[in-house]
Chain A
Amino acid sequence: MTVLQVKVWRGGESGHYQEFEVPRFESQSVLDVVTYIQRSLDPTLSYRFACRVGMCGSCAMTVNGKARWTCRTHVAKVAAADRLEIAPLANLPVVKDLVTDMSPFFEKWAAAHGRFQGGRTRRDDFERVPPDSPQRGLVDEAIECIGCGICYSSCDVVSWNADYLGPAALNRAWTLVNDVRDTDQTRLAAVAGDAGCHACHTQMTCTERCPKQLSPTASIAGLKRLALAAALEGEI
């Protein structure tokens, strides 16, 4: 039986890698490996997951240097020479072992006005959004985000500029800017400028790593254009 050599981050911000040997199974995911370690080798290992099918976005970790959703990442795809190095997501505070504190990530969603603000009450009729309208098309391209934090963890600009809202929050803002039902007039100003979309260098690591194949880069580019037009008009 083949054995995987697995190094796992232990501790908080400071800590060390601990080595484990994990039996290799067919169709094994990286999350299976972490689960095996926790259930059979060291029950004190902390990590996070929920759905195991790529929907909840809670299982993201740094696997051999790249942020990935571990439940949908096959060992066969990433473990060259049967070696794995598993660490918590970068750019976020480490709570313990493989668990990061996602608060800064979601606080930035709030700062980017990531919340839908409708203008109707329950007594009004539904607002109809034609599925084939151009704006709905733009929303469709960006809406499937599961909030895993992989883009945020992979973004160099986030690591250089602590205030930068990051790809996920900006992508979320872009879906709402294009939502014809939304009435928030101050969102564009909230996502523009040095801490917002204009800080993006279009390196596209977010787009390369997004497990849902979204393009936060394209969303951010859209925000840049809209915000520049608004700034020229004196609206922000």
Chain B
Amino acid sequence: MNTRTQVLLWGAQRASAAVLALCVIVHLVTIIYAVRNGLSAAEVLGRTRGSGLWFGFYALFIAAVAVHAPIGLRTILSETFDWRGRSLDVLVLIMGILLALWGLRAVWAVFA
């Protein structure tokens, strides 16, 4: 991987961290609201089904996770196991794609 890509990955991780910080707060406030108001699963689904706003928000959340986590994992694996190069990059890329797919599947499940 060339230096420019490494630097851009670092930038992407910082940017996704900022998005995540916001998303996590909104997510936590939503959970606390739902629990404190005793919403049932059906009532939660009633609010999320067909809601473009919730879909958009959680899709953004998943996108941020799918960008942030693999880049961090790449550094952790590299520093822990002295592992560098293409095999590591491919592994974390696959991780990112899987995270995005799993996440979007979950978002789709509460939307559709």
Contacts and interface: CB of A to CB of B under 8 A. Distances in A.
B79 A157 contact: yes
Interface string A84-125: 000000000000000000000000000000000000000000
Category for how many chain A residues contact B:
10 to 19
Interface string B1-20: 10110111011000000000
A1 B79 CA distance: 49
A12 interface: no
B78 interface: yes
A198 B6 contact: yes
Category for how many chain B residues contact A:
10 to 19
A193 B3 contact: yes
Contacts of A192: 3, 6-7
Contacts of B8: 228, 231-232
Interface in A180-236: 189, 192-194, 196, 198-199, 224, 227-228, 230-232, 234, 236
B4 A160 contact: no
A38 interface: no
A49 B80 CA distance: 35
A187 to B, nearest CB: 12
Contacts of A232: 8, 11
Contacts of A224: 10
Contact of A194 (B6, B80, B82): B6
A189 B84 CA distance: 19
B7 A193 contact: yes
A53 to B, nearest CB: 38
A227 B8 CA distance: 9
B79 A160 contact: yes
A94 to B, nearest CB: 21
A167 to B, nearest CB: 16
Contacts of B3: 189, 192-193, 196, 231, 236
A193 B84 CA distance: 13
A194 B79 CA distance: 11
A161 interface: yes
Interface in B1-53: 1, 3-4, 6-8, 10-11
Nearest to A164: B79
Contacts of A227: 7
Nearest to B80: A160
B7 A161 contact: no
B7 A236 contact: yes
Given A193-B10, A198-B10, A228-B8, 15 more contacts: A157-B79, A160-B79, A192-B3, A192-B6, A193-B3, A193-B6, A193-B7, A194-B78, A194-B84, A196-B3, A199-B75, A227-B7, A231-B7, A231-B8, A234-B4
6 contacts: A194-B84, A228-B8, A231-B4, A231-B11, A232-B8, A236-B7
Interface of B: 1, 3-4, 6-8, 10-11, 75, 78-80, 82, 84
- Which 5 residue pairs are nearest across A and B when measured between Cβ atoms? A193-B6, A160-B79, A231-B7, A193-B3, A198-B10
